[in-house]
Amino acid sequence: MEDALSRDVWSHPQLAAAVVNEDWGAVFRTYRRLTGLSQTKLGERVGLVQPDVSDIERGRRRVTSVEVRQRVLAGLGVPADLQPSRALPTSGGSPVAGLVVPGAGPDEDLLARVTSVVDSSHRVDVPTLDWLDRLLAEHRRAEDTIGSRPLVDVMRQQLRTVVDLYAGARGPLADRVVRLASEHAQFLAWMAQDQAQTAAALAWYDRSHEWALEAGDANMAATTLSMKAHMAWSGGRGDRCVRLADAARWSAQGTSLGVQGMAAQMAARGHALNGEPGEAHRLLDEAQALISRAAEHPADEPVWMYFYDETWFTLQRGMAALHLHDWQAAMDHLTLGLDALPDEYRRDKTWYRACLAHALAGAGESAQAVSVAVASVPDAAAVGRPHSWNELHATAAVLLRKGAQEGKQLVAALREFD
């Protein structure tokens, strides 16, 4: 377990950047913070005594020996693609798989620059950053269909590419690189959240928020807080959801109407989770007004808000009604939203169908609940674990608790994919 954790920490951008920059004090400090190792235990891994580890962390000693440097790389299991001595080919090599959008490849020179370690400022230019923006947008939309699991490693590699770019960026380009890193970290956080990896998601959201503030990106800074509110809501923590959503609303001035609307509806869902219909409905009405105004000026919204429109808001109203046990309103809103939701949003359609099944079960519509739930099982098993999968199990529990025989039918369908 410890070895698996040690390998996974290298996806953290701060640790990756420290290795690339050969800042061994930062490497030791960050590695220990992420793994929980003591200075003594880390020293055992790299062949150093505890006082030497302490001196390196405090900057009192520098790692100048090639032999010590190699012991650190080997002892901490630094991936080959992060090791400073490794030079990726600038031409003729195989491109990183995740940096290729089918049917829309860049010219060879641009692809070489994007997939190579940047070692001079002339490699950081507008076409390169435009291409990385486009890649991120394509992968966001791909995740809607295929889920997060196939994309995690791809996006980690892309973030490493962006981190490498920072060393060669100057002026406005440096600001843009930091903004791009913030967007990648937010997407990685969302994917970790989608897989119920709470600690990793929180770490990525914190990193994204910090980079957003550095880049002066109020929309992303507020979005990361809204997404942390969503995490709190997912964990059944209504009060924390409201506090984080309120922070998203008021801490970042100059945010877009859509970003403000997202924060307002997250606060509403927190109040709904707490069984507070008055505040929930007030904030939902406020959010709807913001979303409607945002729809009049779509170009003013950040690119990652592409999904958030009247259809999504209708679904969020359904979720709030579900928490308030207003089964009829939940069924009405979820059905209306699902009918309008495009098929390419496979993961999300699976989630909201599972929620609709839950609402139907709560309303006593057992046969219809099982019909919707059973039809959702294959997609929930493929792209909806753990959230949609857990919601279907919750639906089965509601049916069984109500004494509905159909609950056993749903349990049997779920077991086929367990």
pLDDT in tens, 32-51: 888 888 998 888 888 877 88
Other beta carbons within 10 Å of 87: 10
Whether the per-residue pLDDT at 121 is higher than 90: the answer is no
- Is residue 147, in this structure, part of any structural domain at all? yes
Cα–Cα distance, 120 to 271 (Å, whole number): 51
- Say if residue 223 is in the same domain as residue 316: yes
Confidence of residue 86 (pLDDT cuts 50, 70, 90): very low
Cα–Cα distance, 120 to 368 (Å, whole number): 62
Contact 413, 396 (CB under 8 A): no
CA quadruple 255, 264, 229, 339: dihedral positive or negative? negative
- Say if residue 242 is in the same domain as residue 313: yes
Tens-digit pLDDT profile for residues 363-389: 999 999 999 999 999 999 988 888 899
Instruction: Note down the domain range covering 186.
Output: 105-197
- Say if residue 315 is in the same domain as residue 233: yes
Position 357 scores a pLDDT of 96
Residue 365 token pair: 């519509």
- Say if residue 45 is in the same domain as residue 109: no
Q: What is the CATH number of the domain that holds 292?
A: 1.25.40
Cα–Cα distance, 358 to 98 (Å, whole number): 37
Residue 43 token pair: 């020293």
Tens-digit pLDDT profile for residues 235-263: 899 999 999 999 999 886 789 999 999 99
- Is residue 329, in this structure, part of any structural domain at all? no
- Say if residue 137 is in the same domain as residue 225: no
Confidence of residue 123 (pLDDT cuts 50, 70, 90): low
Residue 119 DSSP SS3: coil
- Is residue 210, in this structure, part of any structural domain at all? no
- Say if residue 224 is in the same domain as residue 311: yes
Whether the per-residue pLDDT at 277 is higher than 90: the answer is yes
- Say if residue 71 is in the same domain as residue 121: no
Domain stops at, among 321, 351, 366: 321
- Is residue 150, in this structure, part of any structural domain at all? yes
Tens-digit pLDDT profile for residues 284-297: 999 999 999 998 99
- Say if residue 257 is in the same domain as residue 302: yes
Q: Residue 409 corresponds to which amino acid?
A: Q
Q: Residue 335 corresponds to which amino acid?
A: T
Cite the DSSP H helix spans in 235-365.
238-250, 257-273, 277-295, 310-323, 327-340, 346-362
- Say if residue 237 is in the same domain as residue 310: yes
Q: What is the CATH number of the domain that holds 13?
A: 1.10.260.40
Contact 81, 160 (CB under 8 A): yes
Peptide bond between residue 106 and the one before it cis (omega within 30 degrees of 0): no
Residue 322 token pair: 């579900």
Residue with tokens 């729809």: 295
Q: How does the average pLDDT of the chain come out, rounded?
A: 84
pTM summary value:
0.69
Residue 265 token pair: 């509806």
Whether the per-residue pLDDT at 399 is higher than 70: the answer is yes
- The total of structural domains in the chain comes to 4
The better pLDDT of the pair 114, 14 is held by 14
Q: Residue 13 corresponds to which amino acid?
A: P
Position 116 scores a pLDDT of 43
- Say if residue 73 is in the same domain as residue 116: no
Position 246 scores a pLDDT of 95
Confidence of residue 156 (pLDDT cuts 50, 70, 90): confident
- Is residue 57, in this structure, part of any structural domain at all? yes
- Is residue 239, in this structure, part of any structural domain at all? yes
Position 364 scores a pLDDT of 95
- Is residue 87, in this structure, part of any structural domain at all? no
- Say if residue 160 is in the same domain as residue 127: yes
- Is residue 88, in this structure, part of any structural domain at all? no
- Say if residue 55 is in the same domain as residue 148: no
